[in-house]
Amino acid sequence: MSARIISILCAVLVSVTCAYAQNTKAYEERVAVLEREIGILDKQISANAARSSNLLSELTMIRKQIANRKELVRAAERQVRVCSDNIYATQKRINRLQERIDTLSVHYAGLVRSAYKNRDARIWYMYILASDNLGQAFRRYGYFRNLSKEIKDQAVRIEKAREELEAEKAEIQKLKKEAEAVRAQRQKELSSLQKDESKAEIMAGRLKQDRRKYQRQLAQKKKEVEALNKEIERLVAEAMKASGSGGKASEIDYTLAAEFSSNKGRLPWPARGPVVDGFGQRYHPVFTSLKLPFNNGIDIALSPGTDVCSVFDGVVKQVVVMPGYNICVLVQHGNYFSFYCKLRNNAVKAGDKVKTGQKIGTVDTINGETKLHFQIWQGQKPQNPELWLR
């Protein structure tokens, strides 16, 4: 077998191994995110059950947790398939290499037997002396001189390639077992989570039985949401009006606005955690015809004491306190605005310039729930934050 063929096979093996490593890294990173979110949700659910009578909130978090667990199982299954495909491809290469090795072994065995039979140096000398001319004599001499070395070198190269492939095969089989173990663990988690689904159904039943109580809670929530929305609209309109008044100090920084806009989909998260309440119009999970208050932002479940940070450079326009939302901070980025609510304390004040990633405050725990309410506005129009965050 030529060195070129072996080098090609090794190059292919290296490229496949690198691709597998990249897939494995992506899988591990995604699993880490999901497990971190599940950990946050576990704490939220326990705290909510202990200190809050908001069954809807608990039901929402459990369903989000179920979704994360299912994604973990799907991710593990995908990883097992990737691993199996790599094992199959590697085995095919090993089989082809083995066929070549077997063919060469037969040929080499013949050469070795021939060399053994003619091991007497006098026979070799006679064969060289019997050459028709000096050129043929040199060629025969070169052949005898290089034959043994070539056989040995080729055998070493083939053996090395076979060892490398066998080692990679063993490693991939090991990874497959690990991936299968991960899948089995995820399926076990999903099975245990089915108990939580039953618990969620019990909650839904309790909500149905106590519809009047829930409707009172919902009415109160609507008042809080409406009050927050009106206040944000007022603050944004006030900021835009002040910027358009002609005063140099209050002019809109359109360069900053353009930078903010160009980073759509790449803004850092104000804090890392699962989104448990999305943007837009939603309906009650039990009373499916009942509209919930329109959400101008998103709600992110966090661990108690988590820092909340600015998503971009800007200027703090207002710090206000709202019922149900505690401390709220409005940051202006040209004609864009980011709004951070449900803070326990604020690390900035009106007029402060902030940088991307700078601490705005610390998230609060309200009625057993530790969530950040976050909004992004373009002028006086609310945006879906998930489309802006990376």
Dihedral sign computed on CA atoms, order 30, 33, 37, 38: positive
Q: In whole angstroms, what is the distance from residue 254 CA to residue 265 CA?
A: 19
Give the end-to-end CA distance of the chain in Å, rounded to a whole number. Answer: 51
DSSP letter (8 states) at residue 377: E
187, 73 contact by CB (below 8 A) = yes
The predicted pLDDT at position 180 comes to: 81
The predicted pLDDT at position 247 comes to: 47
37, 306 contact by CB (below 8 A) = no
The predicted pLDDT at position 249 comes to: 47
The predicted pLDDT at position 131 comes to: 58
Residue spans of the chain under pLDDT 70: 1-21, 47-54, 104-105, 107-148, 150-151, 154, 157-158, 161, 207, 210-211, 243-250
Counts of helices then strands in the chain (DSSP H, E): 7, 11
The predicted pLDDT at position 245 comes to: 52
Q: In whole angstroms, what is the distance from residue 189 CA to residue 350 CA?
A: 47
pLDDT, tens digit (0-9, with 9 covering 90-100), for 266-314: 999 999 999 999 999 888 777 777 778 889 999 999 999 999 999 999 9
| 0.95 surpassed by pTM | no
**Per-residue DSSP letters for 220-256?**
HHHHHHHHHHHHHHHHHHHHHHHHTT--GGG---HHH
Q: In whole angstroms, what is the distance from residue 258 CA to residue 231 CA?
A: 26
The predicted pLDDT at position 318 comes to: 92
The string over 214-243, giving b where at least 16 C-beta atoms fall within 10 Å of a residue's C-beta and e elsewhere, is: beeebeeeeeebeebbebbeebbeebbeeb
Helix (H/G/I), strand (E/B), else coil: 259 = helix
The predicted pLDDT at position 290 comes to: 74
The predicted pLDDT at position 92 comes to: 81
Structure tokens at 154: 């080729």
H helices present in 52-133, as ranges = 55-117, 121-129
* Type of residue found at 2: S
**Per-residue DSSP letters for 301-365?**
E--TT-EEE-SSSEEEEEEEEETTTEEEEEEEETTEEEEEEEEEEES--TT-EE-TT-EEEEE-E
**Nearest Cα residue to 205 out of 325, 82, 32, 59:** 59
Strand 314-322 and strand 353-354: the pairing is antiparallel
37, 68 contact by CB (below 8 A) = yes
**Helix 55-117 vs helix 3-51: crossing angle, to nearest 10:** 160
* Type of residue found at 332: Q
The predicted pLDDT at position 133 comes to: 67
